[in-house]
Chain A
Amino acid sequence: MSGPWSRRLLPYILVSPLVVFIGALSFVPTVDTTVEAFFRVMPLDPPTRFTGLGNFRDLFDNSSVLTSWVNTAVYVVVGVVLSVVFGTAIAMALKRRFRFRGVFLALVILPWALPAVVEAVIWNWIYNPTFGVMNNALHSLHLIGSYHVWLGLERWLTILLIEIVQVWQITPLSALIILAALQSVPPDLYEAARVDGAGAMQVFRRISLPLIRPAIAVAAVEALVLSLNIFDQVYILNGIAPLGSSVMLQTYVTTFQNLNFGGGYALSLLMTLATAVLSMATLALLYRRSQAVT
């Protein structure tokens, strides 16, 4: 093998095992799902047969599925906005070195380190209408007159409270991504701004924010993907009730409860497309803005 050729081929050779592995584990199932979405696959109604857009039509005729799309949109908006805002605030607070900074950083990361199911179970006890901490605390502070049923009765309240649990989990990731970007901002810029008499808000708006916008874009996309795919928190806190259902939950119900695998494939495909389109749109929007500023 000649020198220049081997140098050119070497990266591809080294990467190829991983590409083959990931390809087998994700590409093949993705293709399979895409194809099967156009077939009626139901163990209770064999044989498997081509149905064209039949699965998709059935999904859009299903009120629970339509409700879940609206709910998921709300989960995404709330999740992205809150996790990015709180993540930025936490990153700003942790930017400077202070005593016990490491301990605070570990505490911030803790919700992200716990499995989503564990967190949902914890928050289920917090929200419990009979003996939950939330009712207890709010009642003790005289903010509510009597114990309230937080989940399952009012749609938007249920969705908000479920998303708070997810925001609690995903905000640390946003904070870390943004913190890493903040720490790469040259300190000279801050010094120069201070010399020029800029206040804290001006420094943040004119220096930090434009330079960390790409990191915010990444954090937003992470939050978007996680919020779009919300399942654990919804299932633990709300069961399969349509009130707070998400698209992923409906995919589970369609596939494993109703044994409608074709419908499940179709929903999964739609979710994949939605995730791809929204992620690219978010990145394009935020990157374009960051490039315009710089």
Chain B
Amino acid sequence: MKNLRITGRRIVPLTISVALVMLSAACGSSSNSSAGSTSSKSITVAVAYPSPPKALLAEFTKQTGIKVNWVNIGWDDLQTKIAAAMTAKTYFADATDVDWSKVGEYEKTGWFYPLNTWFSPSALSSDMPQVDTFVSDNKLMGVPFDSSFLVTTVNTKDFSKAGISTIPTTLAGFSAALKTVGTANGMANPLDIHLATAEGLSTCWYQMTAAFGGSVLSATDSPEFTSPSSPGYQAMNWMVNAYKSGLVAKGNINEADYTGFTTEMAKNRVAAELCDYSGSVASIYNVPASSSVVNQTEYVPTPGATGAGFNVANPDGIGIPKTAKNVPGAVAFIKWFTNTENQAIWAGLKGPSDVVSTFPLPARLSSFALLTKAGDIAQASELAAILRAHAKAPFPNGAPSWYVQFSSAVQTNIHEAAAGQETVQQAVSAIATTVQQLKSAG
């Protein structure tokens, strides 16, 4: 009895202490739930790119005294993380990805700081043609840190083998040429279009719509693809028919964009990519370790309905979430990451050891000039010309705040049309209905 009383006296405070420790651990872990810095001498950068070389990040630290914690998260997962963290108002990074498609959304939700205090869009636009993509309601929501745009890439060796030295600039001519190329090279399906329900399918449709000479939404965000003669309708019809006719492999129904680039084009299973990303030639196809088509691919003018068409811009930007703990540090980092020389270095100015892996192209024309001079990037001057004159934003009014729901409807319905689960007319109607619902919901 006596021993039990003594034991009881000891157990109760011990149990209470354990409970308090567990609760404080839970509370502590929830307030520091993300890996990242809490110090004014460090920042966390969360983007969908591997880190620049440590030596270069060390240079930034040396210049500013700020240490960079780099977090590389896949693009889709990063968007989820941003949405979850910002809704819960929790910290996860000081600087993070602002995709062109999210600009309207972030402006409306107020999740990111407008950067106008530190960066002037008008001052930047002459050197960064795509900066306007990141402006919504006069607020600069992100600074472009690459100049991604959709391009057409061909395997010139395959085309030469088929006796085609000049790549057709019309879609009709291009399709006919592809069939000849397929026969000459023993390729059953010479074209790659990725048809998985993913963002890449949506942007491919915008690209093909631009190739047909139009845009999917008007300046007032109304659908412009409902009429069978409209560029958007024709583009969707063309994509679905390319799949059903065998120009595109049946397996592409579940293939995402980078899978297509790395397993189809890079392995010479196809001879052309219609919705490739600028920079693929240098960062994927000319990399000997993973490509069978080194020095065989080239960017060509995007075939259009009546001649070379436009290229749709889909750049990534970098912005500062409202939960950031070191805003000055994030601003300093953005300035450093997007300056002329560094943008050229990420793309290969100082050789492969200093590149940022999978980095498409620099956001600045001045960086292109450095690369053209050094001769380091395949077709740098052609790409600069596309960036300057042909790369246009997918939507005249910028990405609407409801873009993500719109894109979800686009990719789902085009996928189902290609898979034969609905007709192109049904797909178009479903997407148009979604647009009307989203617009009326505000």
Q: Which residues of A contact B (CB under 8 A)?
A: 1-3, 6-7, 10, 13-14, 16-17, 20-21, 24-25, 43-45, 64, 128-130, 147, 149, 151-153, 237-243, 252-253, 256-259, 261
Interface centre among A44, A253, A257 (most CB of B within 10 A): A44
User: Do A44 and B419 form a contact, CB below 8 Å, given A13-B11, A129-B249, A130-B251?
Assistant: no
User: Do A257 and B404 form a contact, CB below 8 Å, given A3-B1, A45-B442, A151-B254?
Assistant: yes
Asked whether A257 lies within 8 Å of B408 as measured between CB atoms, the reply is yes
10 residue pairs, one from A and one from B, having the closest CB atoms: A129-B251, A17-B19, A6-B8, A152-B254, A241-B197, A152-B253, A43-B109, A256-B80, A239-B197, A1-B8
A14-B15, A45-B442, A259-B105 known; 10 new pairs, CB 8 Å cut-off, are: A17-B18, A17-B22, A20-B22, A44-B105, A44-B109, A44-B401, A239-B256, A253-B408, A256-B84, A261-B87
Instruction: Decide yes or no whether B12 CB sits under 8 A from chain A.
Output: yes
Q: Please name all residues of chain A whose beta carbon is closer than 8 Å to the beta carbon of B269 when the two chains form the complex.
A: 130
Name B412's contact: one of A14, A43, A152, A241 (CB within 8 Å).
A241
Within 8 A of A (CB), among B374-412: 401-402, 404-405, 408, 411-412
Task: Report the interface size for chain B: residues with CB under 8 A from the other chain.
Answer: 49
Name A259's contact: one of B249, B404, B419 (CB within 8 Å).
B404
Q: Could you tell me the dominant secondary structure of chain B's interface residues? A: helix
Interface centre among B9, B80, B420, B421 (most CB of A within 10 A): B421
In the complex the two chains form, what is the Cα distance from A181 to B123 in whole Å?
74
Q: Please name all residues of chain A whose beta carbon is closer than 8 Å to the beta carbon of B84 when the two chains form the complex.
A: 256
Asked whether A14 lies within 8 Å of B23 as measured between CB atoms, the reply is no
Instruction: Decide yes or no whether B344 CB sits under 8 A from chain A.
Output: no
Instruction: Decide yes or no whether B26 CB sits under 8 A from chain A.
Output: yes
Interface centre among B26, B254, B441 (most CB of A within 10 A): B254
Number of A-B contacts (CB under 8 A): 113
Binary contact readout B416-442 vs A (1 if CB under 8 angstroms, 0 otherwise): 100111000000000000000000011
Q: Please name 18 pairs of A and B residues whose Cβ atoms are closer than 8 Å in the assembled complex, sorted by A.
A: A3-B5, A6-B7, A6-B8, A16-B19, A21-B23, A24-B23, A43-B109, A44-B402, A64-B412, A130-B251, A130-B269, A149-B254, A152-B253, A152-B254, A237-B254, A240-B411, A241-B415, A256-B79
Q: Please name all residues of chain A whose beta carbon is closer than 8 Å to the beta carbon of B178 when the two chains form the complex.
A: none
Instruction: Decide yes or no whether B4 CB sits under 8 A from chain A.
Output: yes
Chain A residue nearest in CB terms to B12: A13
Q: Please name all residues of chain B whose beta carbon is closer than 8 Å to the beta carbon of A6 when the two chains form the complex.
A: 4-5, 7-8
Instruction: Decide yes or no whether B57 CB sits under 8 A from chain A.
Output: no
Name A243's contact: one of B7, B11, B419 (CB within 8 Å).
B419
In the complex the two chains form, what is the Cα distance from A130 to B248 in whole Å?
12
Closest-CB distance, B28 to chain A (whole angstroms): 13
In the complex the two chains form, what is the Cα distance from A21 to B415 in whole Å?
45
Chain A residue nearest in CB terms to B21: A17
Closest-CB distance, B233 to chain A (whole angstroms): 22
Instruction: Decide yes or no whether B108 CB sits under 8 A from chain A.
Output: yes
Binary contact readout B98-111 vs A (1 if CB under 8 angstroms, 0 otherwise): 00000001001101
Q: Please name all residues of chain B whose beta carbon is closer than 8 Å to the beta carbon of A1 when the two chains form the complex.
A: 5, 8-9, 12
Name B11's contact: one of A10, A43, A241 (CB within 8 Å).
A10
Chain B residue nearest in CB terms to A256: B80
Binary contact readout B179-203 vs A (1 if CB under 8 angstroms, 0 otherwise): 0000000000000000011100000
Chain B residue nearest in CB terms to A20: B19
Q: Please name all residues of chain B whose beta carbon is closer than 8 Å to the beta carbon of A237 when the two chains form the complex.
A: 254
Closest-CB distance, A33 to chain B (whole angstroms): 14
Instruction: Decide yes or no whether B83 CB sits under 8 A from chain A.
Output: yes
Q: Please name all residues of chain B whose beta carbon is closer than 8 Å to the beta carbon of A152 when the two chains form the complex.
A: 196, 253-254, 415, 419
